[in-house]
Structure 1
Amino acid sequence: MSIRTEENLFDRLAEDLIWRKREITILRWLMEKASPDRLGPLLRSTVALVYAHWEGFIKTAGTAYLEFVHFRRLKHSELAPNFVALAARSMLRRAGATNKVAAHLEVTKFFLSRLNEQSRLPYRDGVDRGGNLSSGLLKEIVETLGLEFTPFETKVHLIDERLLRARNTIAHGEYLVVDVAAVDELAEEVLGMLEAFRAQIDNAAALGTYRSGNVN
């Protein structure tokens, strides 16, 4: 179902987050109950799953918000600058990759004469650009959506080292020693970041910060 209303968006985010939280909660409970000989594999599996839900929710929620803004059917001139940039992204890429005037004219005409046209945002791949969800990619996604990176600034090391690097080590078949307390704390931190990301999108939709001149 297309995300055309705030309620559609709020429901989509809530539904997507709840099953992820449930899986992480189950693994945290299993960690507490596991015997020593089974704990190592369970801890490494938990790190990998926590990362999967980290990347999965951020990209799913970001895509859902873009779809919501797309179906607002606003003119380019009515959108906040970040969404205008997204609408023009493919043109800007073509213009940046060539010295041919035709590509440059396409960009010029867009900003001179097409700003009053109805916007069409590439919401399906607007944030899901592939690659691991590092703090750098998270910042790109946040800026694309017109959100704030401030809540994540103190989490950069956690994201890049304790989460992403650990996940990559495990995914590449290398041995990694982790303990229950560290993995449990990591899971709690990631759940907090997912909630913070969801809250920003909910607020942006409710306050209409996707509109031009309505950016907090």
Structure 2
Amino acid sequence: MKIRAAQELINFLSERKQNRKRELISLSQDLSPPKGHPTAHTCKAAVVLAYAHWEGFVKEAAQAYVNLVAHKSKRLDALALSFQALVFRQELLAAQSATRRIQQHLSLTKRFTDDITSSCKIDHDRAIDTESNLNAEVFENICLSVGLDYQTYWAVHGHRMDDLVANRCAIAHGEMSTPEDKYAREAVNFVIKAIDQFSTDIENAATLEQYLRKTS
């Protein structure tokens, strides 16, 4: 899939988040039956699926944004620092392991100097890693990777991300009793709002071309 324009990205995000939110809203309704309390398996499923939709959307949204930037074919020196880092990361890792052979270091040095004005190549399929446990630290790293502001909005919600990961893992590994229905509802509602907010962050970054280096 190639995303070449901000509107294409916005359309992609809109479709993906609506599909995910539809199931989350259905789960929210199941957690609030007209009479009595939701079943134990409903509460467990809600927490596991809430996490799955959160991790899944963050990964596909961030990858789609990197996809857009990659297909803009901008010069390396025209990109914001975060995207320059994505370009260089694989080469830096390769050079780091080449402790005795200088060829990797020569290639990397040339990239930093002579090739800085060349068009860049970003592997958008491998640029984003949720590490299978999208806690606050991992999410902050993803925000930094694509140049999004973590502190202004997301930092205060870090504990919610960490709790969601911990509870999802406990349920998946059979180490936890049934979560309270109140917590299950809170988890689902948080993810619904978080998906919308992260989508907005990505859309704004693309529309405002925040992937480009600021010039004085």
TM tier relative to shorter chain: over 0.9
What's the TM-score, normalizing by structure 2?
Answer: 0.93
Give, in whole Å, the separation in 2 of the partners of 1:38 and 1:193. 24
- Report sequence identity in percent: 29
The letter for the 2-side match of 1:110 is R
- The answer on whether the counterparts of 2:38 and 2:181 sit within 8 Å (CA) in structure 1 is no
> What runs of 5+ residues in structure 2 fail to find an aligned partner?
none
Q: Which residue of 1 aligns with 2:117?
A: 116
Does residue 199 (structure 1) correspond to residue 200 (structure 2)? The answer is yes
Distance in 1 separating the partners of 2:175 and 2:35 = 22
RMSD between aligned alpha carbons?
Answer: 1.8
TM-score under structure 1 length normalisation? 0.93
Q: Extract unaligned runs of 5+ from structure 1.
A: none
Q: Which residue of 1 aligns with 2:138?
A: 137
Q: In terms of mean alpha carbon deviation, does 133-142 or 41-50 score higher?
A: 133-142
Structure 1 residues 141 and 214: alpha-carbon distance in aligned structure 2, compared to 1, 3 A threshold: farther
Provide the rounded CA distance (Å) in 2 between the counterparts of 1:33 and 1:111.
60
Aligned to 1:208: 209
User: Does residue 152 in structure 1 map to residue 154 in structure 2?
Assistant: yes
Contact 2:63–2:125 (CA under 8 A) maintained in structure 1: yes
The residue that corresponds to 1:51 in the other structure is 51
In the alignment, does 2:182 pair up with 1:181?
yes
**What's the CA shift string for 1:104-152, capped at 9, x where partnerless?**
1121100111111111111011103532111111111100100011211
Q: Deviations over 1:33-79 (max 9, x none)?
A: 27768611100000000000010000000000000001111010111
Q: Following the alignment from structure 1 to structure 2, what is the Cα–Cα distance between the partners of residues 26 and 176?
A: 23
Q: Which amino acid aligns with 1:95?
A: A
45-54 or 130-139, which moves further after superposition?
130-139
- Cross-structure match for 2:7: 7
Q: Which one has a larger percent helix, Structure 1 or Structure 2?
A: 1
User: 2: distance between equivalents of 1:194 and 1:156?
Assistant: 14
Residues 73-96 of structure 1: CA distance to partner in whole angstroms, max 9, x if unpaired? 101011111111111111100112
* Matched-pair contact (CA < 8 Å) for 2:13–2:61: yes
Give distance in 1, aligned partners of 2:48 and 2:54.
10
CA contact (8 A) 2:4 2:71 kept: yes
C-alpha displacement of 1:179: 2.0
CA distance in 2 between counterparts of 1:8 and 1:78 reads: 22
**Structure 1 residue 195: deviation in Å?**
1.5
Residue equivalent to 2:24: 24
SS of alignment partner, residue 183 of structure 1:
helix
For 1:62, the aligned partner's letter is A
**Distance 1:214-1:50 versus aligned 2 partners, 3 A rule:** farther
| Cα 1:193–1:37 shift into 2, 3 Å | closer
Distance across 2 between alignment mates of 1:5 and 1:33: 43
- Per-residue deviation, 1:98: 2.6
For 1:136 and 1:60, locate their aligned partners in 2 and report how far apart those are by CA, in whole Å: 18
